[in-house]
Structure 1
Amino acid sequence: MADIFHITVLVLLTVYPAYRLFRNRSVSSAAMLVAFWCSALVLGLDGQAVRSPEAFLLWKGAGLYAEALLCPVWIAFSLCYARRFSLREISITQRAAFVLSFIPAAIVAVYPVRAFLFAPDFAYEKVLFLEPLAFFFYLQIMLFLAIALFNLEATIANASHGVRWKVKFAVVGAGAMAMSFILYFSQSLLFRSLDMGFMTVRLGALAFGALLVAYSEVERGAEERIVISRSLTYRSFVLLLAALFLVGVGIMGEGMKLFGKSFNQYMLTGMGFAACVALVLLVLSEGLRRKLRVLVQRNFYGEKYDYRVEWDAFTERISSARSRDELFKNILIAFCETFGVVGGAVFMRGRHSRNFLPVCFHEMDSAETLFCSDGKLAVRMAQERAVLDLRREGTDFDAGEARFLKDVEARFIIPACAGDQMLALIVLGRPINMAEQYDEEDMALMGALSRQVAVVFKNLRLGDELAEARDMEAFGKVAAFLLHDLKNQVYPLGLLTENAREYINEPEFQKDMLDSLEGVVARMKALIRQLTHIPANPALDMRPVDLMELARDTAESMPENTVRFFGEPVIVQADAEEMRKVLLNLYLNAFEAGTGAPFDVHVGCETQPYVKVVDYGRGIDESVLRDGLFVPFRTTKEKGLGIGLYQSKQIVEAHGGTLNVTNVAGKGATFWVNLPR
């Protein structure tokens, strides 16, 4: 029977990690495979030593290597199991511990097996007597396995509320397996010997731990990736347990001296192991921790909550969110951990709908449901603006609302109100400790936290509205630029229409009119192409352009005898169509400023190529120059858009040039376009 049990445990330790690695090829799965197989190897070699007493030194010699390798493989397993593994995130201390964990293997490689142990009557009494070297050998193994336990505790301590319950049994099971070896090797401290009869207890402990791991991963998933914070400091339960264990070992040693064989070694060791595992499970129990927390707060501090601590923790959770989804999740986790409930959901009022729509579920079955603004629940919460305890006040709501609240085992509904608006409803599920009593202190803290949540949600809504306003503003700017270009294109068409009444029958006018219309059509098509595909930074079509020729061509859109040209041809690299927009805008401004009087255009090259447009109107008001002549949407014209000069300046600067103005009040203004050579 014992052999069957032995083989069953070996199969479990061998097959399950291989199956897990096959299903999930990850560093964590590979580390589990090595740790479990090394543990199985220790069991197998010890079993062979017991079954073949005549060759026990051979089997035990190989077993010493396997026992020594338990240290690095279990430390490696504890550093990556259920964690987001990265070599860079492993501290220097942990790396040093991993390297030092190979010392027991080095000791085995240097010394022969007889330097560790001897067994004069092993065929009759399965006890290995240890040499002093073995005492220190097994002490090192226990210390390194304790480091693995410390790492496993760090994993569970860093797990969030929603993850801890998923990995709790798996981490406890892995810890139980490591603890079983510590208990087994602790005989070396007590008796300077190893009683192989304890193998059955160790087999049971390993089977129990492996089954816990398998159960947790099959039932609750094995894909968690807990992030370990280097800055996290906490009181280690493993260190306390290790201290208690060493004290217990000392007491047991004294008991053996006093009572001898009447002190039942096997029973006491088994009970001690079971008690340790039970204690770990109780400490990791959410319900027990909740009870202890409430008990300590109320009996030692007079209040259930330390409000400063709760507020700091809640604020820290909110401020650490890096996305909207993470913000919602952090809010629910904070409520669940603070008030000891299993899960929750957030229902937020839609921006374009008055109904409350689900935006986040945490440890609660998601549902395609909503709370109508005119439903009984929303109306009641809007009127009372207080936390609703469903156990005390019932669920007299609409049928769909009542069914949803029953399905998710809801206990509390908390309104998040800002001013006269109810922005969201927070639904909290059943308590972890079903016997916990909630009073006015709980309700007050829920209300305080919900008001903070309402402020956050209001800021989110204001941010959305601001983003929409900016989008509309951008659209308005595009529309304004479009209207300005259309206005400049319509102007020459108006001149053609007026002149056509007199000269339509003249062949020369007909030819000029067709040329002008073709030019307008070409520019309109180019404008349509730009609007069809607007790049983030439009590229200029830079080609050699004669500024004098471009200035004269642009003037053809103006009435006859309104433009006087001075200067000489100057060749520059420019986008002809874009510069045409600039010149046409300056021409129209000069023409309107002079109330139809002629204006001058100078083209030349001094330090830089330039085009100068001089009008002889009233000039520009000093207030306009002071406030900003090139600011968009600012105009002094009755029907102006305030776009032309701003757009012209942008085009000139895109060419690497400058657009400046000089002004003499009452005598006119001069605009300078300077371009690079």
Structure 2
Amino acid sequence: MTSIAVYSYSVAAAAFLLLGVLLLALWRGGAHVTSVTAACALTALWAGAVAWDASHGPALSAWTEALEIVRNGAWSAVLLLMLGNYRDPGSFLGLRRPVLLGIATYLLLLLGNLVLQFDLMYKTSAGLVPNVMVRVCMAVLGMLLVEQVYRNKTVQERWMVKFACLGIGAMFGYDFYMYTHAMLFHEMSPEVWDARGLVNALAVPLIGTAVKRSKSMTTPLALSRRVMFHSAALLGSAIYLLAMGSAGYYLRFFGGDWGTLMQVVFLCGALLLLAGVLFSGAFRAWLKVFISKHFYSYGYDYREEWMRFTRTLSEHGPNLGERAIEAVAALVESPGGVLWQRRANDVYEPVACWQARARQSEPAGSNFCRFLENTQWVIDLHEYRALPEKYGDLVLPDWLAAFPRAWVVVPLILHGKLFGFVVLQDSRSTVALNWEVFDLLEIAGSQAASYLALQDAANDLMVARQFESFNRMSTFVVHDLKNLVSQLSLMNANAEKHRDNPEFQRDMLDTVTHSIQKMKMMLQKLSRNDAPVKPLPLTVDRVVRQAIALKDAFEPRPVLRVENGGLQVLADNERLERVLGHLIQNAIEATPKSGRVTISVRRDSGSAVVEIADTGSGMSEEFIRERLFKPFESTKPAGMGIGLFESREYINELGGKLELASAPAAGTTFTVSLPLYSEEARSVGQAA
């Protein structure tokens, strides 16, 4: 080592010693001050020992290297205290197993260092590699702890710990760089080693700032299972790669002419094996179960599990049954299952499969279904085969006994009734089914049942709406048939008196022909294959004359006045004639034979206006407001109460308005305003 190392590590020793004194003097009441002070003292002692060794020779003493291990352990302990979740009252010394394992590992490293007395600086034989690998592992562990501390803090808490994470992370990060550099070149770089002391000294103000801010650093935190899972996978991968790198080094060192070839092939095979393990569903399942068993008092992170469960069920698209199976199966790492759901014939039928197959149905009155509904238990089939008496008088159906790899039956309970059930296959890894798993599966089954019931209700509602639409159309058709029957009945009543009148005979033939045409059109509309009718330009006065011609047999006969002829609107001829004919029919029926029904056609701004006025009995404001346009409300003995409702709906559909003015004993005037036809209106109508 050079004299630069003496000054570098002396500066580091002085800086950490000063920080320790400040911690004891000024911030004694702060969080984790004791642990940080101890770590600063050990770091100062280590840096002073390195500076002493550098001033007396090129090699480090075994005690100096041992102090480095103690210093790494001290800062790892500080990070662990900041992280929290390290206590377990039921274990040795009240600490969790991983913490005890870490302490034991550091003690073994310390003992091994004192016994073997590795030389880090200039030992280039095979003895350098294992010692450097150990230091790399300690640096990786320190960086992982730094990452965990920062990730698991809230936004407010990160303001307090970010400088501590930067300072401690810088020390471990520089160690990682220095030792991996030594592994790569098989010797320690003197320049990198000399700079290490000053780099450590740069962390002092960062750590001091963090301690000053740390009045609330003692907030207990629950380590996220997702973070723990990825960190464990990362740490395991790092250890595996280091081990494989070491093995490859020895293959090259002892392999002679074949050494390089053996090293390359071995490392490629090791990488492929690592990729296969990381992409293995069984391995991921085993790791999750292992972490839940040994690091947490509860087996599930309920927030994460419920968010994932709800997200799976709420995905847009079909196949809700398959997603329900997948969501429930993921709770116990099951690779597949089948969903049975109750149908109208009181039989539970398989309605969805996820990576499994089943075709057998189960009667709702069977012993199996009654047991699920009465007890609402999750059935562990393996336990049933070993201890059938635990399940009382339960008798499994034959098809379930033959179900491949059947493991768990989860009932789907809705409003206290068995809505369905899910049969899951054996999990990818060993999952102990305890009270916590059973409770979670039961509530997940109820949640899945609510989603499936909501889907069934939506499907039933869609079918009901289709029937409603068909029934509504049928109601309008019946209303039109009633009007046609009224016309034919009136002609039949007058046939005895006017049968020899040629003019009556012509009117009768025209009316019958028109009625037949209308009935044919109505039958076409009842057909589901009938294409929607496109609106066409119609001459208003011509449509009004057609509607009046059908009312010639009634009295008083309507009188037509055309003030502006040739006005065109965009509409369906049959529907517009029916609407106007209904308004004319109502005016005739409300007017005595001695009264008058007057129909006028005129232009008003950009609209064609049809005004139908009568001198009948009129209507009150209350009747107009509350009953006139209400469907299925009628004052006529044989009326259906949908004529005016249909008229207003179609006029609004055309972009027009239906207005009226009426008073008791003063008659009624209906005013229909329709937008005049233009090329622009026609293009809009065709696009629609």
TM range (shorter): 0.5 to 0.7
Write out per-residue CA displacement over residues 579-621 of structure 1, whole angstroms, 9 at most, x where no aligned residue: 3312321122112323555332232424244322222333223
Which 10-residue stretch deviates more, 534-543 or 373-382? 534-543
Task: Name the TM-score, length of structure 2 as normaliser.
Answer: 0.57
Match of 1:546 among 524, 541, 544: 541
Contact 1:612 1:672 in 2 (8 A): yes
Q: Does 1:406 align with 2:402?
A: yes
- Pair 1:345 & 2:341 matched: no
| 1:418 and 1:451 in contact (8 A); partners too | yes
* 1:458-469 mapped onto 2 (5 Å cutoff): 458-469=453-464
Give % identity: 26
Alignment match, 2:578: 581
| Pair 283,475 (structure 1): closer, same or farther in 2 beyond 3 Å | same
Change (3 A) 1:241 1:605: same
Aligned residue type for 1:603: S
Describe the SS at the equivalent of 1:482. helix
Matches of 2:299 and 2:234, distance apart in 1? 29
2:597 counterpart of 1:600: yes
The one-letter code matched in structure 1 to 2:351 is V
Equivalent residue for 2:514?
A: 519
**AA paired with 1:363?**
Q
Q: CA deviation at 1:411?
A: 1.2
Q: Would you say the 8 A contact 2:548–2:581 is kept in 1?
A: no
Q: Secondary structure of the equivalent of 1:674? A: strand
Alignment correspondent of 2:475: 480
Indicate how the Cα distance of structure 1 residues 664 and 263 shifts in structure 2: closer, same or farther if over 3 A, else same. same
Aligned to 1:354: 346
Alpha carbons of structure 1 residues 595 and 458: separation in structure 2 relative to 1, 3 Å: farther
Alignment map for 1:495-510 (pairs within 5 Å): 495-510=490-505
Distance in 1 between the 2:261 and 2:590 partners?
109
**Counterpart mapping for 1:29-178 below 5 A:** none
Q: Corresponding residue for 2:435? A: 440
Q: Deviation string for 1:453-512 (max 9, x for gaps)? A: 111112112112211221121112101110111111111111111111323344443333
The yes-or-no answer on 1:416 pairing with 2:412 is: yes
1:571 is paired with a residue whose SS is: coil
Q: In the alignment, what sits opposite 1:214?
A: none
CA distance in 1: counterparts of 2:312 and 2:510, whole angstroms: 69
- Cα distance in 2 for partners of 1:637, 1:560 equals 18
**1:22-80 deviations in Å (ceiling 9; x for gaps):** xxxxxxxxxxxxxxxxxxxxxxxxxxxxxxxxxxxxxxxxxxxxxxxxxxxxxxxxxxx
Aligned residue for 1:495, secondary structure, equals helix
Write the mapping of 1:216-231 to structure 2, written as runs, cut at 5 A.
none
1:431 to 404, 427, 433: 427
**Structure 2: unaligned runs, 5 residues or longer:** 1-180, 188-226, 677-688
Q: CA deviation at 1:297?
A: 2.0
Equivalent residue, structure 2, for 1:590 = 587
Say if 2:349 and 2:360, in contact at 8 Å, map to a contact too. Answer: yes
Match for residue 611 of structure 2? 612
Matched, 1:299 2:298: no
8 Å contact kept, 2:657–2:674: yes
Aligned-residue offset at 1:635: 3.7
Distance 1:579 1:260 in 2: 98
2:323 corresponds in structure 1 to 330
- CA displacement at 1:449 relative to structure 2: 0.5
SS at match of 1:353: coil
Paired residues of 1:562 and 1:598 also in contact (CA < 8 A): no
Mapped contact 1:343–1:363 kept (Cα < 8 A): yes
Shift of 1:360: 1.7
Would you say the 8 A contact 1:547–1:572 is kept in 2?
no
CA distance in 1, matches of 2:271, 2:461: 58
CA contact (8 A) 1:594 1:618 kept: yes
Which SS does the other structure have where 2:290 is aligned? helix
Cα distance in structure 1, aligned partners of 2:504 and 2:300: 92
Instruction: Tell me which structure has the larger Cα radius of gyration.
Output: 2
- Give 3-state SS (helix, strand or coil) of 1:542's partner: strand
User: Gaps (5+ residues) in structure 1?
Assistant: 1-185, 193-231
How big is the alpha-carbon RMSD for the aligned residues of Structure 1 and Structure 2?
A: 4.0
Q: Do the aligned partners of 1:375 and 1:398 also contact (CA within 8 Å) in 2?
A: no
Relative to the length of structure 1, the TM-score reads 0.58
2:378 alignment partner, one of 387, 405, 413: 387
Distance 1:397 1:536, change over 3 A: farther
2:618 touches 2:668 (CA, 8 Å); kept in 1? yes
Q: 1:324 is matched by which residue type in structure 2?
A: P
Give the structure 2 partner of residue 56 of structure 1. none
Q: Could you give the per-residue CA deviations for residues 373-405 of structure 1, whole angstroms, max 9, x where no partner exists?
A: 122322221222211111222488778x32344
CA deviations over 1:542-577 (Å, ceiling 9, x no partner): 344534971674354442444344455722335554
SS of the residue corresponding to residue 315 of structure 1 reads: helix
Partner Cα separation in structure 1 for residue 480 and residue 504 of structure 2: 26
Q: For residue 322 of structure 1, report the CA deviation from its aligned partner.
A: 2.2
**Aligned residue for 1:668?**
667
Shift of 1:525: 2.6
Q: Distance in 2 between matches of 1:573 and 1:236?
A: 77
Q: Which amino acid letter does the alignment assign opposite residue 602 of structure 1?
A: I
1:492 and 1:557 in contact (8 A); partners too:
no
Post-superposition offset of 1:430: 1.5
Distance 1:403-1:651 versus aligned 2 partners, 3 A rule: closer
Q: Select which of 285, 289, 302 maps to 1:290.
A: 285
Asked whether the 8 Å contact 2:540–2:608 carries over to 1, the reply is: no
Q: Which residue of 1 aligns with 2:465?
A: 470
Rounded Cα–Cα distance in structure 1 between residues aligned with 2:537 and 2:406: 68
In structure 2, distance between residues paired with 1:246 and 1:190: 17
SS at match of 1:407: coil
**1:8 matched to which residue of 2?**
none
* Counterpart-to-counterpart distance in 1, 2:514 and 2:279: 81
Specify the SS of the correspondent of 2:362: coil
Give the aligned partner of residue 377 of structure 1: 368
Deviation, structure 1 residue 578: 3.3
Task: State whether structure 2 residue 363 is matched by structure 1 residue 367.
Answer: no
Q: Does structure 2 retain, via aligned residues, the 8 Å contact 1:555–1:563?
A: no
Distance 1:239 1:629, change over 3 A: same
Amino acid at match of 1:593: A
Letter in 2 for 1:299: H
Shift of 1:672: 1.1
Is the contact made by 1:617 and 1:669 (CA closer than 8 Å) also made in structure 2? Answer: yes
With over 3 angstroms needed to count, the CA separation of the structure-2 counterparts of 1:311 and 1:595, relative to structure 1, is farther
Asked if structure 2 preserves the Cα contact closer than 8 Å seen for 1:590 and 1:614, the reply is yes
Aligned-partner Cα distance in 1 for 2:447–2:361: 23
Q: Counterparts of 1:254 and 1:604 in 2: how far apart (Å)? A: 103
The one-character-per-residue Cα deviations of 1:620-676 (angstroms, maximum 9, x if unpaired) are 232343347445444444442222112223444455543221122342211012344
